[in-house]
Amino acid sequence: MADPIIRTEGLVKRFGPFTALNGIDIEVRKGQVLALLGDNGAGKSTLIRILSGVHKPTEGRIYVEGKEVVFNSPRDAAAAGIGTVYQDLAINPLMSVTRNFFLGRELYRGVRPFGLLDMKTMDEITHAEMKKIGIDISDPRQAVGTMSGGQRQTLAIARAIYFGAKVLILDEPTSALGQKQQMSVLKTMMKVRAKGDIAIIFITHNEIHSQLVADSFTFLALGEVIGCGDKNDLEHDEIRRLMAGGAEIRDLEKELAAVTAD
């Protein structure tokens, strides 16, 4: 079998005396979605910050397509094909869809700094790239502020892919959205998955969403992997138990039953 697009080995991250991650191994292959699940403070964001070149691991290694990589900055990670879509999306609502798509990477006609922005080509590319993953915006010059939350997520995803992401990392892309918009983002993810050449790491608190789109699961709790497996190997009950940080639902019921009014 081909190498995973991305694989980590024994990643450890300490902040002073505090261990946020303690030996994390994950891997994702082309055309596959890995759901990264875990409660608040489990270490999900810390892990993706390491994969995105924001933090350096205290220990451990990262391999991209079988080769070890060391990221000294987010730029290094982007150059290696890691495309991260953060919750805040880094999108400016006052600017057009096209301007957001090309933000910082604009196309010019003529020689810079005297060249003019090539808006026509940029509009065409933006429209085509968004359409490829399922959103047909009528006017790429409309302000992003007029788009729905789900469409904005799609814009950020289309942009990451167009600029070379082989690994797409999505940090809770559905958490701030209503039901319909959540489905639209899940559909976008399935479109990207179907392209077959990109690996997706999907961070979520939502067990149902993870089951709808993921091929494999890794559960984190307090910086450690407490469970992992492929879709076919994990029972629903087991996923639910791991989502609860490894606690049995019965224990949680007991805990709640013990709450009194005082």
Ligand X SMILES: Nc1ncnc2c1ncn2[C@@H]1O[C@H](COP(=O)(O)OP(=O)(O)OP(=O)(O)O)[C@@H](O)[C@H]1O
Positions touching ligand X (CB under 6 A) are 15, 18, 20, 38, 40-46
Among residues 141, 140, 121, 143, which one has the least CA distance to residue 131? 140
Per-residue DSSP letter, 2: P
The residue (of 71 and 102) whose beta carbon lies closer to ligand X is: 71
C-alpha to C-alpha distance for 142 and 247, rounded to whole angstroms: 48
Among residues 71, 63, 9, 32, which one has the least CA distance to residue 231? 32
The residue (of 58 and 121) whose beta carbon lies closer to ligand X is: 58
Interface with Mg ion includes 210 (CB under 5 A)? no
Which ranges of 42-111 would DSSP assign to H, the alpha helix? 44-51, 74-79, 97-101
Question: Minimal distance in Å, beta carbon 42 to Mg ion?
Answer: 8
Q: Which residues contact 51 (CB under 8 A, 6 or more apart)?
A: 6, 8, 62, 77, 82, 84, 167, 169, 201
The residue (of 38 and 150) whose beta carbon lies closer to ligand X is: 38
Question: Minimal distance in Å, beta carbon 78 to ligand X?
Answer: 21
Question: Minimal distance in Å, beta carbon 219 to ligand X?
Answer: 11
Question: Minimal distance in Å, beta carbon 85 to ligand X?
Answer: 15
Q: Which residues contact 42 (CB under 8 A, 6 or more apart)?
A: 220, 221, 222, 223, 245
Q: Which does 115 bind (CB under 5 to 8 A by kind): ligand X, Mg ion, none?
A: none
The residue (of 19 and 148) whose beta carbon lies closer to Mg ion is: 19
Size of the site for Mg ion (CB under 5 A): 2
Residues in contact with Mg ion, shown as a per-residue x/- string from 28 to 47 under the rule CB under 5 A: ----------------xx--
C-alpha to C-alpha distance for 78 and 184, rounded to whole angstroms: 26
Question: Minimal distance in Å, beta carbon 48 to ligand X?
Answer: 8
Rg (CA), the chain: 20
Q: Which does 42 bind (CB under 5 to 8 A by kind): Mg ion, ligand X, none?
A: ligand X
Question: Minimal distance in Å, beta carbon 45 to Mg ion?
Answer: 3
Residues forming a β-bridge with 34: 201, 216
The residue (of 36 and 192) whose beta carbon lies closer to ligand X is: 36
Q: Which does 186 bind (CB under 5 to 8 A by kind): Mg ion, ligand X, none?
A: none
Structure-token match 């606690």, residue found: 247
Residues that bind Mg ion (CB under 5 A): 44-45
